[in-house]
């Protein structure tokens, strides 16, 4: 609901072909910080508790249908005759809706809920505006459409291609986002023509139609042009990722984390860091990571879908995959990979280890070169390691298998049967000793080599 308690509907335009992306993936599904740009936008809009959400689609509609599920209704624009025509395709989905409508763009992902709320509040201003336009002032106005306004009231909207030199000199640019009352939107759109340089039905023309009726149209100006930056190419996608990461790094440090080389740390959209966390160089967080207080993440780690409790140490050169849980003061060292496994309090795997589909008891020690053999080509199986168990280096634990508490698995063992509590399990071929054999071998080979000269 809006501040004025009027029901809210979203109309999100996502029918563009995205040809500049040169991708089989729909443009608005390209990720920033591990999340599709469209989902960034909808997450911000959801803070306003919209009653309805309509996404206008064209090419690639099947991908959007799969991504959105039943969270939004789809309206199809085919053929594509401009932004005004695109919004008209939502008329059926919004039949009878008399609340507020926010018109957004799927490739403009970082508009904040604060800005959206400001637009809606202005729509309910004392002068009863018919349309509220979101504008911005970029350093270079380029090819943006212009908003001609006086004292916050829009006198004219004009696309760059149709603007005069005097109008192009205006620095107030149109973001494309608008707020309109549902009871008026489609009446205004029905009166928009296509007599312009593109031969299209421009959404911006509803402002000129409303002005012709003697209605007030208002402008809200965002102070952050990056908030309304559209993404149409791979280069712009990379720039948006860079801006997002920079802000997130600053936020992490402001919240009490230490980033040794901030520019080399990459966060996902939902990364959570506690206080007094230290993150060294070249660490990448994928989605679904929560890090508690007093954790150290050493250089060159990749962490995704993991939960790290207080006092944990990770890396360097470690990989934590989805389902990895490191409880208090657990340690994972260099070249260790953990997947769908729990290391309970104080457990450690300091180097060269793979722990997949495993449960490692508190205080257990996993030696270098140990692997849990969790997959037979068809099914995954689990390994359970008891408290304080010691797994010797270069051991293979062939799941499903259970290692008891305080048990010892000797180095180089391949364990396929359960090990009882306190038991030593040694699985090796008997060593064969031949005294003097190596000396005789060397002597023979040296003679052979000399004879060939």
* Strand 284-285 to 258-259 pairing: unpaired
- C-alpha angle 173-225-104 in degrees, rounded to nearest 5: 75
75 burial class (0-12, 13-18, 19+ CB within 10 angstroms)? buried
Catalytic residue among 30, 302, 351, 442: 351
Separation CA 119–CA 142 (nearest Å): 25
Torsion of CA 90, 94, 99, 100, to 10 degrees: -10
Residue 337 contacts residue 322 (beta carbons within 8 Å):
no
Separation CA 272–CA 150 (nearest Å): 44
CA distances from residue 40 to 31, 34, 181 in whole angstroms, order as listed: 9, 10, 24
HSE value, Cβ hemisphere, 13 Å, CA-based, for 453:
6
3-state secondary structure of 402: strand
Nearest alpha-carbon partner for 205 in 196, 165, 179: 196
Separation CA 276–CA 234 (nearest Å): 36
Separation CA 436–CA 84 (nearest Å): 91
| 298 part of the active site | no
Separation CA 24–CA 114 (nearest Å): 33
Please list the residues that pair with 402 across neighbouring strands: 384
Active site residues: 351
């Amino acid at each position: 609901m809006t501040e004025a308690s009027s029901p809210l509907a979203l109309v999100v335009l996502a029918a563009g072909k995205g040809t500049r992306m040169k991708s089989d993936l729909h443009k608005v599904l390209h990720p920033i910080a591990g999340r599709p740009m469209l989902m960034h936008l909808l997450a911000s809009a959801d803070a306003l508790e919209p009653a309805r959400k309509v996404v206008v689609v064209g090419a690639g509609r099947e991908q959007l249908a799969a991504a959105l599920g039943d969270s939004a209704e789809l309206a199809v624009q085919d053929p594509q005759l401009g932004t005004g025509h695109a919004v008209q395709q939502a008329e059926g989905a919004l039949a009878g809706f008399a609340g507020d409508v926010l018109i957004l763009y799927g490739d403009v992902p970082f508009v904040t809920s604060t800005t959206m709320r400001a637009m809606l509040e202005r729509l309910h201003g004392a002068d009863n505006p018919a349309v509220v336009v979101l504008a911005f002032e970029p350093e270079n106005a380029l090819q943006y459409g212009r908003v001609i306004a006086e004292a916050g009231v829009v006198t004219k909207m004009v696309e760059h291609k149709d603007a005069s030199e005097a109008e192009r000199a205006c620095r107030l640019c149109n973001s494309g986002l608008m707020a309109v009352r549902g009871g008026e939107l489609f009446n205004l759109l029905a009166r928009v023509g296509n007599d312009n340089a593109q031969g299209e039905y421009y959404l911006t023309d509803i402002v000129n139609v409303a002005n012709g009726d003697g209605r007030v149209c208002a402008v809200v100006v965002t102070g952050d042009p990056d908030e309304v930056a559209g993404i149409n190419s791979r280069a712009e996608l990379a720039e948006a990722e860079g801006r997002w990461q920079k802000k997130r790094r600053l936020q992490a440090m402001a919240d009490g984390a230490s980033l040794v080389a901030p520019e080399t740390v990459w966060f996902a959209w939902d990364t959570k860091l506690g206080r007094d966390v230290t993150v060294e160089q070249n660490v990448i967080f994928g989605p679904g990571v929560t890090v508690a207080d007093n954790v150290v993440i050493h250089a060159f780690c990749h962490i995704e879908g993991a939960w790290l409790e207080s006092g944990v140490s990770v890396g360097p050169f470690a990989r934590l995959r989805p389902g990895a849980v490191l409880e208090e003061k657990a340690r994972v060292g260099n070249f260790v990979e953990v997947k769908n496994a729990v290391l309970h309090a104080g457990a450690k795997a300091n180097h060269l280890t793979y722990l997949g589909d495993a449960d490692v008891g508190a205080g257990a020690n996993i030696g270098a070169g140990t692997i849990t053999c969790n997959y037979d080509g068809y099914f995954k199986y689990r390994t359970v390691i008891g408290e304080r168990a010691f797994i010797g280096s270069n051991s293979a634990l062939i799941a499903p298998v259970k290692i008891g508490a305080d048990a010892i698995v000797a180095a180089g063992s391949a364990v396929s049967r359960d090990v009882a509590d306190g038991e030593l399990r040694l699985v090796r071929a008997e060593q064969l000793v031949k005294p003097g054999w190596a000396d005789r071998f060397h002597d023979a080979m040296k003679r052979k080599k000399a004879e060939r000269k």
